[in-house]
Structure formats: C-alpha cells, structure tokens
Structure 1
Amino acid sequence: MPITTTTDFKHLASIIGIATAATISLLALKYNNRAIFYEPPEGIPMIEGHPLVGTLLSQIINKDRSHDMDCEAFERLNTLTFSASAAGLRPAVVTINPLNIEHFLKTNFENYVKGADLVDALGHMLGTGIFISNGEHWRIARKAASHVFNVVNFRDHFTDVFIKELNIMCDGPFDERAQSGEPIDFHDTMFKFTLDTFVMIAFDVQLNTLSSRGTIDFAEAFDRCQEDCLDRLINPFMPIVEAIKRITPGQKTIKQHLEVIDNLVYGIIQERKQRLSNGEKFKDLLSRFMDTQNEDGNPLSDKELRDTVINFLLAGRDTTAQALSWTFYNLMLHPRIEKKLRDEINANVRDEHESDSRALYEVVKHMPYAHAVLYEVLRLHPPVPGNVKVALEDDIWPDGTRIRKGDAVCWSPYAQGRSTEIWGPDAKQLRPERWINEQGELRRESQGKFPVFHVGPRVCLGQNLATLEAIVAIIFLLRRYKFTLAPNQDITYRTGLTMPMKNGMQVFVEKLA
C-alpha cells in the first residue's frame, strides 16, 4: 500500500533513524578505538584513538606537538614499531627501528613510493619536483641533479656565496645589534641568510632580505605554502578550510601565495633565457638545470625548471636555517660544548681562510668536533622530523611486521633520535662526544639509525652542501660574537614539513675583540 500520509513518512523516518543509530552504535562498539573498517596488523601494538575516527581528532587538535606525541607513543607502548588509523587517511605503520628503515628505504626501495595523497598534499607547491616524484621521472631528475651537486661546485662556487652572504649578515644586523645592545631574532636572521644564500645559488639574484626591515613577500608566501602542505597531509578537511578562506575578507589564499612564488620564479627564468641568448654565462642552479634534459630527452620546460629549483630551494633554505638556529640554541645552553667548539675553531681557522673558499673547504673537512656538534643537534632536532611512503605490495620487515599493499609507512627521525633503546640512556641529552671515536675521528652511524639525510637511493644530494654551509656559518659567527639567550622565551618547534622555531629566538649579541 503506498505511503500517502504525513504520519507514514514520519514513521518511516523514525525507522531509518533508529536503524542508522543502531548501525553506528554497533560499528562504534566494534571499532571503539580505531578508524571504521580498520583492522590492525598482528604482532605490533596499535596506538588507540576515538571510535570510528581513530587518531584523526588528536592529530588535528594536537598538531602543534605532534612530534612529541610520537615520542610518547613509542615510550608508552614500549616498542619501535606501531600501527595507527585515522578516518579519511591511509592505514599507517610507524617505525623508528633502524633495520626497518633501511629495509624500506634501501633494501626493498622499489616497493615503497611517494603516494598519491602525498603528491596531492604537496604538489601545488612542489609540482613534479624530485622530492615527490617516483620511477623514471625521479631517476632522470636525480641523475641531472647529481651532476650539479658535486665537489667542484661546493668548493669553488657555493662556498664563495656563503662567505659573501655571511659577511653581509655580520656587517649588517649582527654588528648593528651588538652596538645598540638590543636583542635580535636569531632564527629569523638565519632564515633571511639562507634565503638570500640559496636564491643566489639557485638564481644568481640578490634578494637582500638581510637588509630588509619588513616582511619579504616571497619569504612569507614560501612559509605559508609549506604550512599548508602539512595541513593537507594530516587533515582531510583542508579543501573545505581553503574554500572558507577564499570567501573570507582579508584572508590571503594559498593560490595568492603561490602566485607570489611563481611570479618571481617565472620572471627570473624568462630573464635568464634572454641573458643567455646574449652570451652571458652563469654558475647558478637554474643555468645548470637549463643544460639538462627531461625523461623525453628534451630541455626542461619552464614548469619543470620552476619545480626543480623550488624543490632545492625548500631543502636548502629551511633545513640549514633551522639547523643553525637549533645549534646556537644548544650552544647557549651548554657552555662546555661551546668552549670546546671555539677551541677547535681557533686551532684550525685563520683570518686568511675566510677569504679563500678552497682553503676553508679543506679546513672544514678536518674539524671533527664541529661536525659532531652539528650531527648531535640534527639528531635531536632533525630538519625533517617525520616522513612517509606507501607500500606497492605486501611485505615483511626485518622485525617481522607485516605490511599490506597501500599501507602508509611512516618513520620519525625526531622520535628515533630521542629513543633510549636506540641511542642509550642519555639519548635526550646533547653529547657531541658520541660522534667521536677513540682515535679522535668522526664516527659514522648507519643511515637507518641516523636518517636525517634520508637513506638509500634517495639520500640527500645536498648533504655535503648543507653541512658545509652550516659549519662555515658556525665558524664565522663564533669567531666574531658571543650570543646570549634573552630571558622569558618559549623556545619550541612549529609543526610543518620541516621543524622551525615556533616563536623565533631572541638573543643578545656581543662582539668579540
């Protein structure tokens, strides 16, 4: 008999409502601590979350301390590997086991790729660049980049740029604050230094952020796009958030920030083509990549050039600025370590080295304690604190963990560096001596135990460049200044693709005689 009355409709609606509520209740009972339909792998503990949504809410609510939450989870579960689920995101297995990390990043490299969700989250900024590409496209890009990041370029060109920008930084903001006695935001200054340095290395363009008093549009846009990348990665509702921003007065959208980046980069590319056609020569990354070919055997398009250089600019600018900021923060907290480092610098570096890039390059190579300090800081404050890939097929890890096709495979250098099971009972303490062997030489750890520069075929091409720049900067600054932390500061990280300081770092600058 057809339903024709309002009462019949209400009755049907009530039945549907009761059935829906009953179904949700039953599902909530079954999936009371994990995402709906998620079945955790056997043999490893699972981090518990809320019914039906798993850890999604805690990921969003606690985003600002997500790295410490990883540490707490490993300690609470007393494990080096656990599983996790969040509604709307892939099932995840998270590990800090060095053997597992070497397995999926090196031994069985071909089975683990940058997933489509990662590409979707980062692609609007990084395009098809080397950091989020896979397969043959990645191999071609990697091969081309390997010819650029070589010893000759490090020694003969890149170091000259570092020294030039260091002198600008010292003669400008640091000398000014040493004279005035006012504090300076060390973290912000390092970001300006590395941005100027890497824009010069990448484009042969003097951006002059170190001499700027205000906000640099390009730097602001770069920072905001990075924050958006992480938000897109952990929050499936970001498209809705971005849609709301588009109709909110006074709110800059990610599209607008990307336009700032693209206008600068594409403008430089067009200018460079014109200048090259006039016979000018350049040593920067842009010109070197203009001489390379893509997987089709053709010169890189403007879009490919843009993506390539933006990827390396992201890697170079942010990671080095953060490494320097966290290094000087720790030196100010540990006077013994600072003195020992100053002693090594004074014993090896002379004034003439600072104007001779080749000589300085050779000196830096033979300073084990400077390297040890840097590596120890990177162990505790890794510039890329967490990372993720996706399994193409089922696999079994060295610790027996069973990985299923489509699983997100996550590793946390931040949590690993603070694990007492991996680094010993003093894991959370800064002790550079752990990197020095009995002969006084630098100790090398396995990539799986210290994956700060990645592992296997994707190991960081700019590792030597970043290390060189950081140590050269440390040498310049410690030979000239004594830094002291300003009081009443909350020095902590801001969650993102990398690990900057959330509130900056105010320091007093004293110029040494």
Structure 2
Amino acid sequence: MSENLTYSLTGVATITSAAILGLLTLKYNDRAIFTERRDNIHSASGLPLFGIMFEQIAKKERFLDFFIEKMNETDNMTMYASSLGLPPKIMTIDPRNVEHVLKDNFSNYVKSKRSTDLLNDLFGHGIFAANGKQWYYQRKTASVIFNTNNFRNFFTVFVKELNVMSERIIDKAIERGEVIDFQSMIYKFTLETFVYLGFGKQLNALYNNVTVPFATSFDACQANCFQRLVSPIGRLREALSPILHPGEMTAKEHIQVIDDFAYNLIQERKVQLAQGHKYKDLLSQFMAARNPEGKELGDTELRDAVLNFIIAGRDTTAQTLTWTIYYLIMHPRVEAKLVSEIEKYISDEIEQDPPALYEMIKKMVYSHAVFYEVLRLEPVVPNSSKEALEDDVLPDGTHVYKGDQINWSSYAMGRSKKIWGNDAESFYPERWIQDGHLRRESPSKWPAFHGGPRICLGQNLATLEGLVALIILLKRYKFSLVSNQEVVYTMSLTHPIKNGLKVFVEKR
C-alpha cells in the first residue's frame, strides 16, 4: 500500500514538474527564465529558458566576433540579450547611444557591482573599477602627470629604451638568424618605460631579455577576469583549474605575484623618501594625495592605483604596436608609404635628439593615420559595459531599465559598414586624412580611448610612445611574418594576439 502510494506521489510530482517546465518554456520561449520581454527592440536569438548562455560560453574565445554575429541578426544597431546566470543586457553599436552613456547622461551609468566584484582581486578600487568619488580623486591625482610638458621628458626614456631593445634583442636576433616574438618584446619595452616613468623602478627586462613574472601573471589574471565576466561558471572553472590543469599556477598564485610586485614598489619608495629622495612621478603623486575621506592612501589603495595604471601604460601601446606591425606586413603599400614619410622627416640626428624627435613626430600625418586605423580595427579595449542606475531612454528610442547592462563593442563598431561605410573592414589609413591634415573622429564613433569624463588620460602619451617606437623601428628594420602561424586575438580585458607575433627581422 505504502509502496503504491509512493509510486503515485512520485508520478504526480514528475507530471507536475513537467507541466511547470512546459509552462515556463512557453512563457520564456525567446529568452532566459525570469527575464522580461522587451517590446520595440530586437531580442537576440537564443534558447528557451537559457537565452544566449550556451552560445556565449561556446564562443567566449571569439566573443568579439560573436557580438558582431548577434548584431547582424537585425538591421538595427541595438538589441536586447538575456543569458541565464548573467544580468540582461542591451547590446549596441549606435554611436548616439555610446555618446549618451559615456557623456550626455554620464552620471546614470556606472561600473556594475557585479563587474567590480569579479575584478576586485586584480584591480581593487583602482581607477578602472571605481565609481564616483573614488574614481574622481584618482583621475585628478593622475592628471598632473599626463601633461604636454612631461611628454618631452618621457621621450628621452622612450628613445633610450628603444636603443637598448635594438642592441640587446633585435640586433642579436639578426646576427643569429633567430625569430623574434614581437608582442613579447614590445610588452617588455612598454612595461619597462611605464614602470620607470610612473613608479621610478628599472626592471632591466630589455637588458637581459628575461621573462618578467609580474607580466606573465598580469596577463593570466586579465584573461581570468574576462572569463568571469562572460561566463556564469567562470569562478567554477577557476576552482577546478588545479584538477584540470595540474602543475599550472592558480589564479590566487598569480595574484600573489602581482601583489608582491606592487607592494615592493611601494615599500622601496617609502624607504627612498625616508632617505630624503624627491620624486615627481605617478607613484609620488598618489602618495601625496588624499582619498575621499581626506586621509593619506594606505598600501592597499596605492597598490590598486599602481596596477590600474600599469595596465593602461603597458597594454595599450604594446598591443597596438603589435597589431600595427602585423597590418603593415600584410599591406606593403601602406608600409612603403609610411617608411617614405619616416625617411622624409626623421634623419639620423633627429632620431637621437628626443626633443626634436618629439616635435617632428607631431607633424607626421600619415604615421598618425596608420596608428589610428589600427586602433579602429583592433581597439585595445574592444568591449565595454556600464550599468544603469535609473530608467532611461537611449537616443535611438531604446528603453533602459534600472539594473540593465549597456554593452558596446569598439571592435564591432570599427567593422560596421553603417558607421564607416562599405570599406569598413579594409585597412585604409587614408580615411583619417582630409586636405593633407589629420581628421579627428568623435569618441562616440571611434571609442578607442573611451569618451566623456572617463576618456583615457594617457591617450596622447600612448599615441606618442607608440609612434616613436614605430617610427624608429621601421627606420632601422624591416619585419616579415614567420609562416604557418595563426594571427588571431585572444580574449582578455584588453586585445592581445593569442600566441604572439613571430617575425623575422632584417636591417634596412
């Protein structure tokens, strides 16, 4: 009797569960469960109850192209997407919407709590993860460094380290007939220059051509952070990593390497200050600053400031230079035209005279056009998002609800024919030149350096460092691609090439 009752109750429960599941599937047939249907906006195709979750996980290594695929489902420039386990988001490539979020209604759109929580172990409360007063005081403090007067002094360091890189790495590789990983090499250059200019520390990575553990761990942590953001099982994947990848460093171990690096910089500076040394670099500015509570910054706050600005100073220029060398190799017409401009403006004497070099580079229109065109197609921060604090309406009429994520892709925007015309996917630097002068584009159309109040403080410095490196390297050397390598991006918070860029080098 009791057995029959148990079977009957089990059968009823099964039927009831199936009925509830069926009803939920009917209701949420076009989106993730418990998300609202949005009228007057195209919804990304997905599975009932799960939305785009499985597709997003499956394509997370090609997420930027996945974004384009989704946007191509509609003739509009904005769509709604839901994914089980992730906040609902509005995906857009409409420049009007981007300008609205970044500038016109800036105060309503912030870094979401979810993203700051997921990035906390790497960025803490640094400028990239901060909102409100925490963001403002850090930006105000750092702005003192990023001025034109300092740029001329920075050029001396850039030229010095370029000479070291030429002598210690490139010339030796030429003599030995060895291949160079351009991305790895240029990462060392930008890390060396920025850590020295920003924090007074000489790493000597270029002198010894050694691997910098901090850089390796920094790259690994950025990749981990991206996986957390796009996948609801990102944290689970990290937890299982010791089992799935025995012998590899864990996320916590990478964070420890990064913390040791940052805290050592801070402690060294404290000792130097106690000995009476004077500094005017980025670290000294933060050590003299006050947080929103009016207090001196503690070691943790200084650590967060250090790491946030290192990603800005190292990644932006290094990745853009790597992509630039690749595009020039693949487009010999552009390379020839660029080299011709370099030969016209940069003599051997000017090359070794940083102040004169600085002034001359500002006049080189085609060099700037090449740099900007690479950033259009391969932006260093290819994907961005903000969370709405209150309901809003975007310029294209899309209704935004409190808590919505607004997601835009600089990568997809750069390839959009609706924005750049039918040749949007072509590498054509001349699009940046009008009547012999460099043509400026709105950050809303070309958000390579973000826009609005949070526009990149170091965009001019990054551009000039990138150009001085590009110009000197192309004046001295010709690069060619090693065959049988796949040059594709890898997903991270920034935009590196997956397995580096292997090149042969010969002297011009």
Structure-1 residue corresponding to 2:417:
420
Structure-2 residue corresponding to 1:320:
317
CA contact (8 A) 1:33 1:48 kept: yes
Given the alignment of the two structures, is residue 56 of structure 1 paired with residue 53 of structure 2, yes or no? yes
Q: Which moved more, 1:451-460 or 1:53-62?
A: 53-62
Structure-2 residue corresponding to 1:182:
178
Structure-2 residue corresponding to 1:298:
295
Given the alignment of the two structures, is residue 198 of structure 1 paired with residue 194 of structure 2, yes or no? yes
Q: Which moved more, 1:209-218 or 1:390-399?
A: 209-218
Structure-2 residue corresponding to 1:229:
225
Structure-1 residue corresponding to 2:338:
341
SS at match of 1:91: strand
Structure-2 residue corresponding to 1:68:
65
Given the alignment of the two structures, is residue 492 of structure 1 paired with residue 495 of structure 2, yes or no? no
Distance 1:250 1:332, change over 3 A: same
1:81 aligned to which of 75, 78, 81: 78
Structure-2 residue corresponding to 1:480:
476
Given the alignment of the two structures, is residue 465 of structure 1 paired with residue 461 of structure 2, yes or no? yes
Distance 1:85 1:212, change over 3 A: farther
Structure-1 residue corresponding to 2:166:
170
1:437 aligned to which of 413, 434, 438: 434
Over the matched positions of the two proteins, sequence identity in percent amounts to 51
d(CA) in 1 for partners of 2:198, 2:5: 71
SS at match of 1:507: strand
SS at match of 2:495: coil
CA contact (8 A) 2:169 2:209 kept: no
d(CA) in 1 for partners of 2:370, 2:249: 40
TM, length-normalised to structure 2? 0.97
Give matches, 1:93-104, under 5 Å. 93-104=90-101
Structure-2 residue corresponding to 1:455:
451
1:504 is displaced (CA, Å) by: 1.3
d(CA) in 2 for partners of 1:162, 1:15: 75
CA contact (8 A) 1:48 1:54 kept: yes
CA contact (8 A) 1:391 1:409 kept: yes
Given the alignment of the two structures, is residue 371 of structure 1 paired with residue 384 of structure 2, yes or no? no
d(CA) in 1 for partners of 2:347, 2:360: 10
Q: Which moved more, 1:48-57 or 1:179-188?
A: 179-188
d(CA) in 2 for partners of 1:510, 1:474: 15
Q: CA offsets per residue over residues 435-485 of structure 1, 9 Å max, x none?
A: 0112x0100011100110001000000101110110000011011001011
RMSD of the alignment, in Å? 1.6
CA contact (8 A) 2:79 2:92 kept: yes
Aligned residue type for 1:458: R
1:123 is displaced (CA, Å) by: 1.1
2:6 aligned to which of 6, 9, 17: 9
Structure-1 residue corresponding to 2:35:
38
- Between the two proteins, the alignment pairs up a number of residues equal to 507
CA contact (8 A) 2:173 2:180 kept: yes
d(CA) in 2 for partners of 1:261, 1:340: 42
1:508 aligned to which of 500, 504, 507: 504
CA contact (8 A) 2:145 2:281 kept: no
d(CA) in 2 for partners of 1:17, 1:197: 65
CA contact (8 A) 1:60 1:235 kept: yes
SS at match of 1:495: coil
d(CA) in 1 for partners of 2:112, 2:470: 37
CA contact (8 A) 2:118 2:225 kept: yes
Given the alignment of the two structures, is residue 129 of structure 1 paired with residue 126 of structure 2, yes or no? yes
SS at match of 2:86: coil
Aligned residue type for 2:75: N
1:81 is displaced (CA, Å) by: 0.8
CA contact (8 A) 1:121 1:230 kept: no
Q: Which moved more, 1:196-205 or 1:415-424?
A: 196-205
CA contact (8 A) 2:51 2:82 kept: yes
d(CA) in 2 for partners of 1:305, 1:61: 38
Aligned residue type for 2:110: V
Q: Which moved more, 1:494-503 or 1:207-216?
A: 207-216
1:274 is displaced (CA, Å) by: 1.0
d(CA) in 2 for partners of 1:45, 1:247: 41
1:119 is displaced (CA, Å) by: 0.2
d(CA) in 1 for partners of 2:37, 2:426: 34
CA contact (8 A) 1:227 1:497 kept: yes
Structure-1 residue corresponding to 2:204:
208
CA contact (8 A) 2:44 2:73 kept: no
Aligned residue type for 2:301: E
1:212 is displaced (CA, Å) by: 4.6
Structure-2 residue corresponding to 1:264:
261
2:141 aligned to which of 140, 144, 153: 144
Structure-1 residue corresponding to 2:151:
154
Aligned residue type for 2:180: I
Given the alignment of the two structures, is residue 217 of structure 1 paired with residue 213 of structure 2, yes or no? yes
d(CA) in 1 for partners of 2:28, 2:38: 14
Structure-2 residue corresponding to 1:396:
393
d(CA) in 2 for partners of 1:172, 1:261: 26
SS at match of 2:462: helix
Q: CA offsets per residue over residues 372-424 of structure 1, 9 Å max, x none?
A: 00000000000111000000111111111111111000111000000011100
Q: Which 5+ residue runs of structure 2 have no aligned equivalent?
A: none
Q: Which moved more, 1:408-417 or 1:38-47?
A: 38-47
d(CA) in 2 for partners of 1:360, 1:289: 30
CA contact (8 A) 2:198 2:283 kept: yes
1:285 aligned to which of 282, 286, 311: 282
d(CA) in 2 for partners of 1:284, 1:294: 18
TM, length-normalised to structure 1? 0.96
d(CA) in 2 for partners of 1:246, 1:301: 33
Aligned residue type for 1:206: Q
CA contact (8 A) 1:40 1:83 kept: no
d(CA) in 2 for partners of 1:143, 1:286: 14
Q: Which moved more, 1:461-470 or 1:233-242?
A: 233-242
Structure-1 residue corresponding to 2:15:
18
Q: CA offsets per residue over residues 38-57 of structure 1, 9 Å max, x none?
A: 22422221111122111111
Q: CA offsets per residue over residues 78-110 of structure 1, 9 Å max, x none?
A: 221111111111110011111111011100000
Aligned residue type for 1:324: L
Structure-2 residue corresponding to 1:408:
405
Distance 1:25 1:377, change over 3 A: same
CA contact (8 A) 2:141 2:285 kept: no
1:37 is displaced (CA, Å) by: 2.0
Distance 1:161 1:11, change over 3 A: farther
Q: CA offsets per residue over residues 198-219 of structure 1, 9 Å max, x none?
A: 2222322222333455543211
1:352 is displaced (CA, Å) by: 2.6
Q: Which 5+ residue runs of structure 1 have no aligned equivalent?
A: none
